[in-house]
Structure 1
């Protein structure tokens, strides 16, 4: 496992590495705070999280490993696709509970130790934009965290063709439905407007 992690960190481009380090500089200290890594699947969040964790000794909380059996079993029952994360059913029924758990746990830990939250955060981005607040403010309010908790939100911005190439390369089962229906996924999700919202509610946007 360590060798795999090392390869992922080594794969991080120098420009992205520098941008990530600049993003958290003077915002999240060694003692507490949260870095929220947002972006579409295959935008490089996990690789970025590994780098920042090595740099800061932060705890990484990854949505994909939070409750995968729960997400898959519920979505298989509701839509027939255990890896559906983009339908309105997922957004309205499953995502709120999953994100409440991730955000609540992450920001409680962040009061005492630095934390990296790794998830798309597409629904919270939409909700923050609709509320007219920055994503960090929205997450603090949603979790009940105090306003003085350092939170920096980072949107990792990848072009659709880059995302598709990474999905093909990693060969994950969860990407198969997206790749099979790529035109619809690109139209409805990647070009569905959340990217533009992220540029307005996240603290930092980094090309990935």
Structure 2
């Protein structure tokens, strides 16, 4: 685990509401600069981002709302699946550019007001782990703008909980994942990304 990781790691035995109590611990620091809330789809990122933003009156910048039509149209052309965010084609062609613009916007705003960023950042977690640097350092290296204070949170959830949440929310972008769940779990959830994240983020918050 990243030596900079602070004691916001909770377990069900330690707290009745582990995620919210962990976020309460983080809120004071999150009142300045940019707080990146990342994790697997349906792990609880958006719930955590909204909770934290309400605590500190922060702006939320949500990856799902950042140029979705562009991503969908490009991926429909590349792979035939407009909701593909896990293939090599997405990671090679789309991910670097869309995330660079996304992070740029968050940092520009975060210099002036507190910002909560809600996005998976899976490719960036992997890149930071390969480089042996913190996720915040890796993100700051991708843009050329005045840099705010940056902290990172990984929302950890169990695969069965992720599947249940995907089924419950009924989003079109989850249909392919649920239809071939074993492959998605093997390729993404059980691929070592969770372990990599715990080594590069500032906080791990358990949503289970």
Q: TM-score, normalised by structure 1?
A: 0.89
Per the alignment, residue 175 of structure 1 pairs with: 174
Q: Contact conserved, 2:107 with 2:146, CA < 8 A, in 1?
A: no
Per the alignment, residue 30 of structure 2 pairs with: 28
- Separation of aligned partners in 2, 1:56 and 1:69: 31
**SS at structure 1 position matched to 2:117:** strand
Structure 1 stretch 49-58 or stretch 113-122: which is displaced more?
A: 49-58
Query: Where do 5+ consecutive residues of structure 1 fail to align?
Result: 1-12
Per the alignment, residue 17 of structure 1 pairs with: 20
**SS at structure 1 position matched to 2:83:** coil
Per the alignment, residue 193 of structure 2 pairs with: 194
Counting only pairs closer than 5 Å after superposition, residues 36-75 of structure 1 correspond to structure 2 as: 36-75=36-75
Equivalent pairs counted in the alignment come to 192
- After superposition, the C-alpha distances for 1:114-142 in whole angstroms (9 at most, x for unaligned) are 00110000011111111111001111221
Query: Where do 5+ consecutive residues of structure 2 fail to align?
Result: 1-15
- Separation of aligned partners in 2, 1:24 and 1:193: 28
- Separation of aligned partners in 2, 1:146 and 1:136: 14
Per the alignment, residue 204 of structure 1 pairs with: 203
Per the alignment, residue 159 of structure 2 pairs with: 160
Distance of aligned partners of 1:53 and 1:196 in 2 relative to their CA distance in 1, 3 Å threshold = same
1:150 to 2:149 alignment: yes
1:90 to 2:90 alignment: yes
- Separation of aligned partners in 2, 1:77 and 1:207: 37
Q: Contact conserved, 2:30 with 2:56, CA < 8 A, in 1?
A: no
- Separation of aligned partners in 2, 1:82 and 1:139: 26
Deviation at 1:145, TM superposition (A): 4.9
**SS at structure 1 position matched to 2:23:** helix
Deviation at 1:197, TM superposition (A): 0.4
**SS at structure 2 position matched to 1:143:** coil
Deviation at 1:168, TM superposition (A): 0.3
Deviation at 1:158, TM superposition (A): 0.5
- After superposition, the C-alpha distances for 1:21-54 in whole angstroms (9 at most, x for unaligned) are 21243x233xx40110010000001111111111
Say which structure, 1 or 2, has more relative contact order (CA 8 Å, 6+ apart). 2
